[in-house]
Structure 1
Amino acid sequence: MSCLIVEATDGYARTGCVTTRRGTFRIPAFMPVGTHGGVRALHPDEVRECGAEIVLSNAYHLALRPGLDVVERAGGIHGFMGWDGPILTDSGGYQLVSLAGAARIDNGGAVFVSPYDGTRLRVTPEEAVSIQSRLGADVIMCLDQPVAFGAGAGAAAAATARTHRWAQRCVAAHPGDGALLFGIAQGGFDEGTRRESAAFIAALGFDGNAVGGLSVGEPIAVMEAMARASTEELPEDRPRYFMGLGTDEELLTMVGMGIDMFDCVVPTRLARNGTALTADGRLSLRNSVFRDDLRPIDDACACQACARFSRAYLRHLFTAGEILAHRLVSIHNITHLSRLMRAAAAAIREQRFEAFRREVSDRLRGREPAGPRLN
């Protein structure tokens, strides 16, 4: 039985819910990233108030620090980080690119050098599943091997073949403990290889399927073409997850392709740099133009930042070096993306998704100042 219930569709876009052993979350869904077991600077209750129903943590980092034994003694990752909803954990495959100089890959798996103390961690597909199971994740990701944009065809083909072998081993290693297991389609930046990989992963019968190895610096047109090639080969009765995407226009483009789940560090990373997301584009709150701007970030948003504080106050906090600035803008940015996903779901139910997507794009590009309001 599929964990996905589709309640409405409009073209390829769909809305509904995904059920995990720890509860249900609505789709389309944006998952805030808590790499080390916490969304940066925010209390779990604040993350929930932002509209998030599922969060992401990184099994690789948690296995290194604080260590699986500590998390297990705390009752698993939910008890450790104080989040009572679904949690998806990434296996560490992305670190094979982001920490390429500190990882060695062979057909058996990968050896990572800890960025914290220099110790070595051997991760096989079986170990990746075991680590995530011991953490208590509700959605477990297979170990995969993405490639950097610009990698040669031979390197991409070898990494994709290895990803397929690792996926088979992850299926065999899954303990069947109620956690969902998601496969990851790779394929580099060749459309044919993308399709072949997605078809191979789909045939393994995962609970859900991810499109990996994109949004890593390639042109947007390339990203969209590769995502479409992958998605067209993935089954409709399973959730689809685009890994590492968090900008308004691209999120809605992918929702329009039938992708359901997204994660990204963008909302919190931008917040730490003083940038707020709005329906009219990004606001760089450190700029002097906001010194005496007493409007909220977004007058249509009811988050803690917008309900109580002005742009001028937030700029003051940033210039004064107050951590409250990071917290408030993080709350706003996560709320903004959660609202965007809810508005997309409403548009799908009302059979107006494509018009909604165009309106959002036009407003961001300054072509439609009246634009839609996110509810």
Structure 2
Amino acid sequence: MLSDEKKLILCENIIKTELFQKAPKSSALLKYLVKATLAGDFLKEDIIDLEFFGDKSISDKNNPRVRVNVYNLRKKIELYYKTDGQDIQWRLIIDKGQYSVRFEKLTPNTSTLEKIKLKNVIPYLLLVALSIIFIFSNLKPEPPVVWESFFKNKKATTLIVGDVFGMTGKTITNNEGWTRDFSINSTEDYYAFMENNSELKEIIKPANYTYITSMGVIAVQHVAKLFYDLNSNFGIRFSSHISVDDLKNGNLIYVGQYINNTKLTSLFNNFNPYFKITNQHLIVSGHPNLKDTIYTTYFGKESEDFSIVSRFKGPENNECFIFFSNHDMGVKATIEHFTDNEFLKKFNKEHMAEKDNFTAIYQVYGKDRTNLGLKSILVVPF
């Protein structure tokens, strides 16, 4: 077995060769893929595009940049083992159609199998192959209960990542730049504001781009791992690019803030029987066994975040899974837990024995917007 340290040394030896010294992008990409593989990161085309190339357009499936660069890298590795690395026993391999890296030890050319007459072996090999195919075709991975209908209702799933609207123009330092106003969260908000502040029309205007935080990347990684393990796919959109019709045309997962995403808060309010979000409050009312309560969704501390997780049926009986919080920390913590099998087994046993949907409230603790702990405040199945 080759240790991670020796795998990194093999990678560095390849990069030091003249072949790779003349190809800095291939060298950097190889180092990135090796380190991500050893770290256990889930490597997918849109994640590589976002993390390595720094492109926010993770939903653009027509951009061949990742595939082209990995193809070129694979060819250089093959050339390396035909030249400088022909005597290397351990080989670094990126399989076709894959992005993770594996290491394979060369075996001698002769073996016991080569001494056996092929015509006598073929029938048995075919029988074994057919048996394996039959067994694996009948072994379908079972999704966690709270995610089950996403994989069984045959509707396409879209992950909606919350992004932030902004404006360009004069900033507080009197320079040109990008600026954010929490009361202006769309072009509609901007033009409504300008109706009463027309003198600012020459100073600021809607930016032609938005931004996302590290929350979006982490959420994509966790959801991608869940769907990959269950042999399923999903699409990715930014919240600023969705319409009301998009909320009913398939299953959806939303990760992000709620204060600047009125379409998603309206969806939550309309299809949750006991919960409503308004300004900085979450209202619980009408439940047969719970007292009507108003929760303040803002703790006033950077080390704490208020997070709402809800799974419910949407307008066309589509599945909706919502991860709301004020800041990154709440979504990071809850998406991590609700894609973890051990957490979900316990959650299902405690809360989902008789109901299909739920809304849960959590208090998240952390530092520098990194979650360090999760406290359950309320879980209401329905």
TM-score per shorter chain, which class? under 0.3
- Give TM-score scaled by structure 1 length: 0.27
| Larger RCO (CA within 8 A; separation ≥ 6) | 1
| Structure label with greater radius of gyration | 2
